[in-house]
Amino acid sequence: MENSAKALLMAGGVLVTMLIVTLLFYFKGKITEYYNDQGKIDDIANVADFNKQFTNYERDKVYGYEIISLANMVEDYNTRHSGADNAPNDEKYTPFTLIVSFEGKGNDVEQKIWYNTEGGINHLFNSNNDVLIQSETSNQVVDRILKATEIEDLYGVSETTKLAKSINKLIVKEDPINIDYQVQKLMNEQKVSYDKAILILKRKAIADFRAIIKDKDPVPYESSEVNSLYNDMKNLLLYGKYQMSIRQYYEYYQFKKAIFECDKEKILYDNGVGGTGRIIGMTFKFTGKVE
C-alpha cells in the first residue's frame, strides 16, 4: 500500500510538472503573440503618423510656398531615412518622389509665372510639362531656394521682392516697329523722338535699379554711358551673378504664390511585396492661378 501511495504521488507530481510546463509554454506563446501584435500595431501607427504629414497636403488648394516646404521635408527624409544613394542610415525606406505638373497650362505659366517668353532666358519651370521637384538624387526646388537665398542675402528680402516686382518697369523694350506703350506715351507727352524717349526711360530704369540695390551714384547723361550702364543692369537682370537672375527670382517669387491641386489619383504607396505602406510619391497640378 505504501509503495502504491508513493507511486501515485510521483505520478501526480509528474502530471503537475507537465501541466506547469505546458502552461508556461502556452503563456510564453501568448506573450510572444501579444508583443508581435503590439509591434504590428506600433508599425501601423508609425506608418499612419508618417503618411499624415503628407496627406495634410491632399487638398485642392496648395500654394507653391507649401510645396517648397514639402520639398524640404522630402529632401530631409530621402537623405536621412531612405535607400537613396549616400543616405547615411540603416532604415533604407523607398525614396519619396515629388512632382509638380504644368501639363496643359502653358499659356498660364508664361503669363503668370514667367516674366516673359523672351529668348535666351533659362526659365525655372517648364511651361507645359511635369517638373521633378524631388527624387532620389534631385531636388530642383531646394537648389533654387539656395540660389534665391543668395540673391536675398545680396539685396535683402524686401528689396529683392521689390526688384522682382519691378522688372517690367526696369527693362525698356526697344522695338521701333512695335513701339512699347511706355515709349509711345513718353513720345506723346514730352514731344520727343523715339531715340530720346528710349534714352529717358533707360535713365529712369538705371535710377530705379540703383535705388533698389542701394547704388545711389549719379546717372551720367551721355548716351553712350547710359547705354553701357543700362546693358550692365540688363545683363544682371537676365543672367545674374549667383546662377539665378532677377528674372528667375521673379519666377520663383510667382511660383510661391501659385495655386496647385493635389492629384489624388497619383498618390503612390509602398504596397508591393514586403512594402511598408508608406506614401512614396505625390503629384501637384498647377491650377493656372496665382494670388
- Report pLDDT for 288: 93
CA–CA gap between residue 120 and residue 164 (Å, rounded) = 18
Q: Where are the domains of the chain?
A: 1-55, 61-290
Give the model's pLDDT for residue 62.
97
Assign residue 261 a region (left: φ > 0; alpha: ψ between -120 and 50; beta: otherwise): beta
| Total residues belonging to the chain | 291
Beta strands at 258-262 and 62-63: parallel, antiparallel or unpaired: antiparallel
Residue given cell 492629384 in the structure block: 263
What's the pTM? 0.69
Q: What is the DSSP letter of 219?
A: P
- pLDDT of 266 reads 93
Q: Residues of the chain whose pLDDT is less than 70?
A: 1-16, 21, 23-44, 82-91, 115-121, 133-140, 168, 215-224, 238-243
pLDDT digits (tens, 9 = 90+) for 254-278: 899 999 999 999 999 998 887 888 9
Q: Which residues pair with 282 in a beta bridge?
A: 98
Read off φ and ψ for residue 134, nearest 5 degrees: -150, 125
> What span, in angstroms and rounded, lies between the C-alpha atoms of 185 and 286?
36
238 contacts 245 by C-beta, under 8 angstroms: yes
Nearest Cα to 247, choosing from 82, 84, 117, 90? 117
Burial 95-112 (b: 16+ CB within 10 A, else e): bbbbbbbbeebeebbeeb
Closest CA to 161 of 239, 238, 253: 253
Q: How far is CA 282 from the centre of its chain?
A: 12
pLDDT of residue 281: 92
pLDDT in tens, 142-154: 777 777 888 888 7
Q: Which three cell numbers stand for residue 153?
A: 542675402
Q: Are 140 and 146 in contact (CB under 8 A)?
A: no
Residues ≥6 apart with Cβ < 8 Å to 91: 81, 82
β-sheet bridge partners, residue 97: 281
